[in-house]
């Protein structure tokens, strides 16, 4: 096995690499990157211009170039794929696992995909890629690879070992050997240990394990990730509707899916509408961030209208204005806490989860307890430390209690409704909840104040 070189990207190394590219110093470029992991080289290429990155990429062996291309950020990989001739990109694609090749091809338009597939020399690879392109990329079929080891139940151990040697040429990591019948129906798995320790004439049917977890090719990717997490699997076989073995999913593919989903949820929670990277253009980043910022500005303008509506009462009791930030901040924090807990539960659904009604009741009781504590604390501070009248302290405390209940209700119900409508519930954990609670909190605050302080 090739020993990978320990590597640390530094500004000095980057500059020396750029200088070597400018001078076309092939020897230095080849020697300095020899044995470096593809992910590290990809991180390096992300810092170079497209022309510089292509220059370095073309100096690498085909298998290394394929590994690097897989590890590039999506935008960078797309630029490279569109810049390179279809014949050249096809040579790299042939060195990839079928699932990685499909991930790359899915970034491109249909015409670009067809041009690359047409130049593939390996007909089996081409057939595998065409098969995988039929599946939605967020399903088990879209995640699986066609490279795996299988053995017929009627084979002897000797036959199986020979077949493993043949099949293993195209399989980088062997987690399990899947056992099938003559019609390719999945029967179970057999470990390498059992094969090695069994007599050469022993049939696979006598040593394979029938208890095997598999997933359907159309199962959503999130469900696949949950199956692998729950049962601590390094790989899982994929079957079609007839229980025929069609591929396998490895843990690295699931980790990539989880990372992508986490990034999407984080961006949704912070009010970013598109999938963006820090390296994207100023216009693209601004475009992704503006929608919710504009909604926040509109919410602020509406909040000023609410304050203006109660302006006459506010002028009679100016101290009310001092506690507007308190009400807004508390409502926003309670709403985000409530929605985040619900979103977390929805992301890891279980058959034993509480029903929506049970969640609501539990959230309501928590809100009542928190509201009593917060409202009572504010009452004591306003009356005994700030020196206001008891009625004013009670007004602020009661208003805060009502705001906590309302914010908790919004934070609990909104993600559930969005999830039922098929919308990413993570949206509810960001600017949506904050803006809504600011407006409703102000309305509740002034409504309570008007009623208890007779400011009408």
In a domain, 273, yes or no: no
Residue with tokens 């170079």: 48
| 174 shares its domain with 126 | no
Report d(CA 452, CA 447) in Å as an integer: 9
Number of neighbours of residue 451 by Cβ within 10 angstroms: 13
The two three-digit tokens of residue 135, written as one number: 């599946």
Q: Which CATH number is 215's domain given?
A: 3.10.580.10
Q: How far, in Å, CA of 264 to CA of 316, rounded?
A: 48
Which residues partner with 203 through β-bridges? 156
Confidence at residue 278, expressed as pLDDT on a 0 to 100 scale: 59
For residue 36, give the CATH number of its domain: 1.25.60.10
In a domain, 1, yes or no: no
57, 86: one domain: yes
Residue 265 lies in a domain: no
- Tell me the two tokens of residue 101: 């090749």
The reply to whether 398 and 310 lie within a common domain is yes
Give the CA distances from residue 350 to residues 223, 226, 233, 344, 346, in Å, rounded to whole numbers and listed in that order.
Answer: 11, 10, 18, 12, 9
Q: How far is CA 236 from CA 167, 245, 250, 254, in A?
A: 18, 11, 7, 10
Residues 313 and 444 in one domain: yes
Domain interval for residue 166: 149-257
Beta bridge partners of residue 237, listed in sequence order: 248
Alpha-carbon Rg for the chain, nearest whole angstrom, is: 30
Quick check: is 270 in a domain? Answer: no
Pairing of strands 149-152, 177-180: parallel
Is residue 271 one of the residues assigned to a domain?
no
Pairing, β 177-180 against β 235-239: unpaired
User: Which backbone phi and psi does 293 adopt, to 5 degrees?
Assistant: -65, -40
Within-domain flag for 392: yes
- State whether 108 and 169 are in the same domain: no
CB burial of 247-267 (b: ≥16 within 10 Å; e: otherwise) equals bbbbbebbeebeeebeeebeb
Residues 289 and 362 in one domain: yes
Q: Provide the 10 A C-beta neighbour count for residue 201.
A: 8
Domain boundary, last residue among 138, 159, 190 = 138
Find, among 138, 147, 132, the residue nearest to 237 by Cα.
147
Alpha-carbon gap, residue 37 to 415, rounded angstroms: 41
Same domain, 393 and 287: yes
- CATH number at 391 reads 1.10.357.20
Residue from 415, 140, 207, 449 nearest 322 by CA: 449
The answer to whether residues 128 and 153 belong to one domain is no
**Are 232 and 319 in a shared domain?**
no
**Nearest residue to 124 via CA among 99, 100, 94:** 94
Is the CB of residue 150 less than 8 Å from the CB of residue 245? yes
The predicted structure's pLDDT at residue 73: 85
pLDDT for 289: 67
One domain, residues 288 and 434: yes
**Pair (129, 58) in one structural domain:** yes
Indicate whether 246 belongs to any domain: yes
Using alpha carbons, select from 224, 217, 235, 255 the residue that is nearest to residue 149.
235
The pLDDT value recorded for residue 186 is: 96
- Asked whether residue 262 is assigned to any structural domain, the reply reads no
Total domain count for the chain?
Answer: 3
Calculate ∠ Cα 320-321-323, nearest 5°.
Answer: 75
Does 43 lie in the same domain as 100? yes
456 residues of the chain, pLDDT tens digit each: 444 555 567 788 888 889 999 998 888 888 888 888 888 889 888 888 999 999 999 999 999 999 999 989 888 898 899 999 999 999 999 999 999 999 999 999 889 999 999 999 988 899 999 999 999 988 999 999 998 999 999 999 999 999 888 887 778 778 789 999 999 999 999 998 899 899 999 999 999 999 899 999 999 998 898 898 889 888 999 999 999 999 999 888 888 787 777 766 666 555 555 555 655 667 776 776 677 677 777 877 887 787 777 777 667 777 888 888 888 888 888 887 887 777 777 766 654 456 767 777 888 888 899 999 999 999 999 999 988 889 989 999 999 999 999 888 888 888 887 777 777 676 656 677 777 878 888 888 888 888 888 766
Judging by beta carbons within 10 Å of its beta carbon (0-12, 13-18, 19+), is residue 164 exposed, middle or buried? middle
């Amino acid at each position: 096995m090739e020993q990978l070189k320990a590597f640390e990207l530094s500004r000095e190394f980057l500059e020396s690499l750029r200088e070597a590219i400018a001078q076309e110093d092939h020897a230095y470029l080849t020697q300095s990157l020899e044995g470096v992991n593809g992910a590290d080289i990809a991180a390096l290429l992300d810092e170079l211009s497209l022309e510089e990155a292509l220059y370095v990429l073309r100096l690498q062996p085909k298998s290394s170039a394929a590994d690097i291309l897989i590890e590039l950020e999506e935008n960078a990989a797309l630029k490279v794929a569109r810049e390179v001739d279809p014949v050249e990109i096809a040579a790299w694609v042939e060195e990839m696992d079928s699932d990685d090749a499909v991930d790359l091809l899915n970034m491109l338009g249909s015409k670009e995909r067809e041009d690359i597939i047409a130049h593939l020399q390996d007909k089996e690879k081409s057939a595998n890629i065409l098969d995988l392109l039929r599946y939605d990329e967020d399903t088990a079929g879209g995640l699986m690879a066609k490279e795996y080891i299988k053995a017929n139940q009627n084979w002897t151990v000797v036959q199986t070992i020979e077949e493993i040697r043949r099949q293993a040429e195209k399989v980088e990591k062997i987690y399990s050997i899947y056992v099938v019948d003559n019609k390719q129906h999945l029967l179970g798995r057999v470990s390498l240990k059992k094969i090695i320790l069994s007599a050469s004439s022993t049939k696979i049917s006598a040593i394979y394990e029938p208890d095997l977890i598999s997933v359907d090719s159309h199962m959503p990717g999130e469900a696949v990730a949950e199956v692998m997490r729950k049962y601590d699997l390094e790989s899982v076989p994929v079957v079609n509707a007839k229980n025929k073995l069609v591929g396998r999913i490895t843990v690295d593919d699931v980790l990539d899916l989880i990372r992508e989903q986490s990034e999407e949820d984080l961006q949704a929670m912070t009010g970013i509408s598109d999938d963006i990277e820090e390296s994207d253009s100023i216009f693209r980043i601004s475009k992704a961030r503006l929608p919710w910022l504009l909604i926040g500005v509109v919410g602020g303008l509406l909040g000023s209208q609410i304050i203006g509506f109660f302006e006459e009462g506010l002028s009679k009791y100016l101290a009310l204005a001092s506690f507007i930030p308190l009400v807004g901040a508390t409502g926003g924090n309670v709403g985000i806490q409530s929605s985040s807990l619900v979103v977390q539960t929805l992301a890891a659904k279980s058959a034993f989860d509480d029903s929506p009604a049970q969640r609501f009741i539990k959230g309501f009781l928590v809100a009542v307890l928190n509201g009593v504590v917060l409202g009572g604390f504010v009452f004591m501070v306003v009356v005994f430390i700030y020196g206001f009248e008891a009625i004013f302290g009670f007004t602020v405390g009661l208003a805060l209690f009502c705001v906590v209940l309302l914010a908790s209700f919004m934070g609990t119900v909104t993600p559930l409704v969005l999830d039922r409508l098929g919308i990413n519930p993570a949206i509810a954990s960001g600017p949506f909840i904050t803006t809504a609670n600011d407006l409703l909190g102000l309305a509740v605050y002034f409504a309570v104040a008007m009623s208890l302080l007779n400011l009408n």
